[in-house]
């Protein structure tokens, strides 16, 4: 027997998910079990196990004071062994049509065989077709008194709102590291393994919030072994690690098609799932898009501007639809990403890499000269790249473009652009949120990766005598320096 089944929790107190454990305890303690519940949360978190425990608690012949199942009576043992005639598990992924729901509606009318209550556990409930879900509505709303429904899903948002409104939702949150370590310690103790605490940390991190994945990982590590060190655990995880959705989005954002294909092929060779990767990227980009609209977290994919997030989601949804019809699992994703890159990518690099050995200059009195990294490789803007930035800025906000005429790029390390600004007034305006955000969005679009702008007061370029006329040199903007009052006129229109 696989270890995940062997150490499956059998009581509410044994549930490893704290949020689910506390939620179910409150429901059972109240003595009022809802007629329809929804267990929602990520994969491998214990939703089906919790549904079976609740089914035992509902029908237990000798429940404990807190409502816990005794796990010794006939009803509890039948559920544990999976042969109860009154606890029916249904996989909505393979029984998703309207005919399946019609059969279910007829079956619920029958009284329980030996238990007090019939419990239907519908796994992957989001897979029900629209017609089937609508046919299920009346039964969910007014089921017979002897029936309880428990729907489990990893995608509650895919359930139609009218179904969700009829369910009492228990949310299973992603497992925390302490929760996973608690489970792994129990498994190691039961199997008489000697495992370093640091090795538990490695496995817990690799499981990415999934109890089932954590047990599967450590089970593979311990084949033929009785001891596990941090070094062995780290070596195993590194060797078998595949790229995550967020990591792959970072690679896609750079629009290097060779790297995009190579990373995808490497993931396939390590046994990774393209379907899971696509689903993960869509979920992550959705979170990013909401963040850019001011909803939810604000730290997701800042290097993707809003229209790129939208277009990439559209591309991934097309790849998802074509996935089942392609002879190779990665083919639909590769073809769609190539087309997306050709549509949105640059024909040539937007930055050039140069080796600099000049030591970093110091900033004194708020002023600085050109700065380069000491012995490091810096990414420095080329003139045509800066002209492209200025052109796009001009189209979006002429005030920002006017301010940039009195500035020059100092250096760029691939993430941060240090912008030398000649006047304090201009620097303050460029650091205002609305202007800085406009500039950073355009830089990110042109460069292809997130760019943060840091403004620094710097001296004006020394005046050169050309044809008897003194001019200030700023080759990157190809403009003579303008007086502060003239810049103010352009910015404020007066």
Q: How many H-runs (helices) and E-runs (strands) does the chain carry?
A: 21, 14
pLDDT at 37: 93
DSSP string, 370-394: ----SSSEEEE--HHHHHHHHHHHH
DSSP state of 407: E
Range from 91-105, 110-124, 204-218, 370-384 carrying the lowest mean pLDDT = 370-384
Range from 31-45, 176-190, 398-412 carrying the lowest mean pLDDT = 398-412
- pLDDT, average across residues 39-55: 91
- First and final CA of the chain: distance in angstroms? 80
pLDDT at 47: 92
C-alpha span between 214 and 211 (Å, rounded)? 5
Contacts of 420 (CB under 8 A, 6+ apart): 368, 370, 407, 408, 409, 410, 456, 457, 458
Q: Please determine, for residue 67, whether its predicted confidence score (pLDDT) is greater than 80.
A: yes
Q: Please determine, for residue 491, whether its predicted confidence score (pLDDT) is greater than 70.
A: no
DSSP string, 271-303: T--HHHHHHHHHHHHHHHHHHHTTSS-S-S-TT
CB 47 within 8 A of CB 37: no
Percent of the chain with pLDDT over 90: 17
CB 128 within 8 A of CB 92: yes
Q: How many CB atoms lie within 10 A of CB 337?
A: 22
C-alpha span between 51 and 172 (Å, rounded)? 12
pLDDT in tens, 74-85: 999 999 988 899
The strand pairing partners of 228, in sequence order, are 195
pLDDT at 55: 93
C-alpha span between 194 and 205 (Å, rounded)? 19
CB 411 within 8 A of CB 370: yes
The strand pairing partners of 37, in sequence order, are 150, 168
Per-residue confidence band for 299, with pLDDT thresholds at 50, 70 and 90: low
pLDDT at 75: 93
Highest mean pLDDT among 188-197, 241-250, 288-297, 419-428: 188-197
Q: Please determine, for residue 374, whether its predicted confidence score (pLDDT) is greater than 80.
A: no
C-alpha span between 340 and 448 (Å, rounded)? 13
pLDDT at 396: 81
C-alpha span between 82 and 58 (Å, rounded)? 16
Percent of the chain with pLDDT over 70: 82
Q: Please determine, for residue 362, whether its predicted confidence score (pLDDT) is greater than 60.
A: no
Going across the sheet that includes 87-91, the strands are: 87-91, 118-123, 147-153, 36-40, 168-171
DSSP state of 148: E
Helix (H, G, I), strand (E, B) or coil at 151: strand
Residue showing tokens 């240090």? 418
pLDDT at 300: 55
pLDDT at 352: 40
- For residue 344, give the nearest of 257, 281, 413, 415 by alpha carbon: 257
Q: Please determine, for residue 143, whether its predicted confidence score (pLDDT) is greater than 60.
A: yes
CB 34 within 8 A of CB 165: no
pLDDT at 304: 62
Q: Please determine, for residue 30, whether its predicted confidence score (pLDDT) is greater than 60.
A: yes
CB 125 within 8 A of CB 99: no
pLDDT at 150: 94
pLDDT at 307: 67
Interhelix angle 211-221/230-240, nearest 10 degrees: 110
pLDDT at 305: 61
Average pLDDT score, the chain: 79
C-alpha span between 264 and 407 (Å, rounded)? 42
C-alpha span between 10 and 50 (Å, rounded)? 8
Range from 151-160, 251-260, 303-312 carrying the lowest mean pLDDT = 303-312
Range from 146-155, 265-274, 313-322 carrying the lowest mean pLDDT = 265-274
Helix (H, G, I), strand (E, B) or coil at 29: helix
Per-residue confidence band for 417, with pLDDT thresholds at 50, 70 and 90: confident
pLDDT at 225: 86
pLDDT at 393: 85
Q: Please determine, for residue 453, whether its predicted confidence score (pLDDT) is greater than 70.
A: yes
pLDDT at 371: 36
Per-residue confidence band for 288, with pLDDT thresholds at 50, 70 and 90: confident
pLDDT at 345: 55
CA trace torsion 276, 277, 283, 286 (10° rounding): -150
Q: Distance of CA 411 to CAs 37, 365, 418, 433, Å?
A: 58, 19, 5, 22
CB 419 within 8 A of CB 388: no
Q: Please determine, for residue 477, whether its predicted confidence score (pLDDT) is greater than 60.
A: no
DSSP state of 364: B
Q: Distance of CA 493 to CAs 260, 404, 432, Å?
A: 47, 16, 18
Q: Please determine, for residue 479, whether its predicted confidence score (pLDDT) is greater than 70.
A: no
pLDDT at 118: 93
C-alpha span between 424 and 454 (Å, rounded)? 14
- For residue 15, give the nearest of 211, 215, 213 by alpha carbon: 211
The strand pairing partners of 377, in sequence order, are 355
C-alpha span between 268 and 285 (Å, rounded)? 22
Give me the domains of the chain, ranges plus CATH numbers.
Answer: 3-171 (3.40.50.300), 177-240 (1.10.8.60), 245-344 (1.20.272), 352-492 (3.30.300.180)
Q: Please determine, for residue 120, whether its predicted confidence score (pLDDT) is greater than 90.
A: yes
Question: 339-342 — which CB contacts under 8 Å span 24+ positions?
Answer: 339/315, 340/311, 340/312, 340/315, 341/255, 341/257, 341/260
């Amino acid at each position: 027997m696989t270890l995940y089944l062997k150490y499956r929790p059998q009581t509410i107190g044994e549930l490893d998910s704290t949020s689910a454990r506390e939620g179910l305890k409150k429901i059972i303690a109240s003595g009022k079990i809802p007629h329809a519940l929804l267990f929602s949360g990520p994969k491998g978190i214990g939703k089906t196990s919790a549904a079976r425990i609740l089914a035992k608690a509902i029908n237990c012949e000798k429940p404990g004071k807190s409502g816990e199942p005794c796990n010794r009576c006939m009803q509890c043992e039948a559920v544990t062994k999976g042969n109860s005639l009154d606890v029916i598990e249904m996989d909505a992924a393979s029984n998703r049509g309207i005919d399946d729901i019609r059969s279910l509606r007829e079956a619920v009318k029958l009284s329980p065989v030996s238990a007090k209550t019939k419990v239907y556990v519908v796994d992957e409930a989001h897979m029900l077709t629209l017609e089937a879900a609508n046919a299920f509505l009346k039964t969910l709303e007014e089921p017979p008194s002897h029936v309880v429904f428990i729907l489990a899903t990893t995608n509650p948002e895919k359930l139609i709102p009218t179904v969700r409104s009829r369910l009492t939702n228990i949310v299973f949150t992603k497992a925390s590291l302490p929760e996973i370590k608690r489970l792994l310690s129990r498994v190691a103790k039961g199997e008489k393994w000697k495992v370093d605490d640091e090795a538990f940390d490695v496995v817990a991190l690799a499981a990415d919030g999934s109890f089932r994945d954590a047990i599967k990982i450590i089970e593979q590590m311990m084949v033929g072994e009785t001891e596990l060190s941090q070094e062995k655990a780290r070596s195993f995880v590194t060797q078998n690690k595949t790229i995550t959705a967020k990591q792959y989005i970072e690679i896609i954002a750079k629009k290097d098609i060779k790297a995009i294909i190579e990373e995808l092929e490497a993931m396939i060779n390590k046994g990774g799932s393209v379907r899971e990767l696509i689903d993960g990227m869509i979920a992550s980009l959705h979170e990013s898009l909401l963040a850019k609209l001011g909803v939810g977290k604000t730290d997701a994919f800042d290097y993707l501007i809003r229209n790129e997030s939208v277009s990439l989601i559209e591309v991934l949804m097309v790849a998802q639809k074509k996935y089942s019809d392609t002879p190779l699992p990665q083919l639909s994703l590769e073809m769609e990403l190539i087309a997306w890159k050709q549509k949105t990518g640059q024909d040539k690099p937007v930055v050039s890499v140069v080796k600099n050995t000049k030591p970093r200059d110091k900033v004194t009195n708020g002023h600085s000269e050109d700065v380069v990294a000491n012995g490091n490789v810096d990414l420095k803007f080329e003139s045509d790249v800066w002209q492209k930035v200025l052109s796009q800025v001009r189209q979006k906000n002429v005030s920002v473009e006017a301010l940039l005429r009195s500035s020059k790029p100092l250096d760029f390390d691939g993430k941060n652009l240090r912008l030398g600004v000649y006047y304090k007034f201009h620097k303050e305006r460029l650091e205002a949120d609305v202007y800085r955000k406009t500039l950073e969005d355009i830089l990110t679009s042109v460069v292809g990766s997130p760019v943060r702008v840091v403004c620094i007061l710097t001296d004006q370029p020394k005046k050169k005598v050309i044809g008897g006329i003194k001019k200030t040199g700023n080759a990157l903007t190809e403009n003579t320096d303008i007086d502060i009052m003239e810049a103010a006129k352009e910015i404020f229109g007066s």
